[in-house]
Amino acid sequence: MSDERPDPPSVDPWLGRVVEGRYRVLRALGGGGMGSVYEAEHVELEKRVALKVIRPELVADDEIRARFLREAKATAKIEHPHVITAMDFGTLPDGGAFLVTTLVRGISLRERLSGGAMSWREACAIGAQIADALAAIHTRGFVHRDLTPDNVLLGKRDDGSPWVHVLDLGVVGVLHEAGDRRLTAEGHIVGTTGYMAPEQALGQATDARADLYALGVLLWEMCAGRPLYRERELTKVVAAQLTDPPAPPTPPTGEIPGQLGAMIRGLLEPTAARRPESAAHVRDELTSLRALPRSFVRPAGSSRGATRWVIPAAVGAALTLLATGVVLTLALGGDEPRVATAVPAPPAPPTPTVSAAPRAEPLAEPERSLFDVVATGPYRDARRRAAAQLLERPTPIPAGVRAAADLELARNCRDRRDALQRITAARDPRAAPIVARYREAPREGCGRGGQNDCYRCIRESLDLAWSAIR
Active site residues: 146
190: left (phi over 0), alpha (psi -120 to 50) or beta: beta
To 5 degrees, how large is the angle CA 355–CA 358–CA 362? 135
List b or e across 46-61, with b for residues whose CB sees 16 or more CB atoms inside 10 angstroms: eeebbbbbbeeeebee
Residue 407 near residue 419 (C-beta atoms within 8 A):
yes
The rounded distance, in Å, linking the Cα atoms of 50 and 32 is 14
The rounded distance, in Å, linking the Cα atoms of 225 and 359 is 44
Residue 401 near residue 373 (C-beta atoms within 8 A):
no
SS3 state of residue 85 = coil
CA dist list (Å): 60 to 98, 269, 281: 15, 40, 42
SS3 state of residue 275 = coil
Which residues are CB-contacts of 280 (< 8 A; sequence separation ≥ 6)?
131, 132, 135
The rounded distance, in Å, linking the Cα atoms of 117 and 125 is 14
Query: DSSP states of 153-220 as a string?
Result: EEEE-TTS-EEEEE---TT-EETT-TTTTTTS-TT---S-TTTS-HHHHTT----HHHHHHHHHHHHH
What are the backbone dihedrals phi and psi of residue 119, each rounded to the nearest 5 degrees, phi first?
-65, 155
Bridge partners (DSSP) of residue 25 are 40
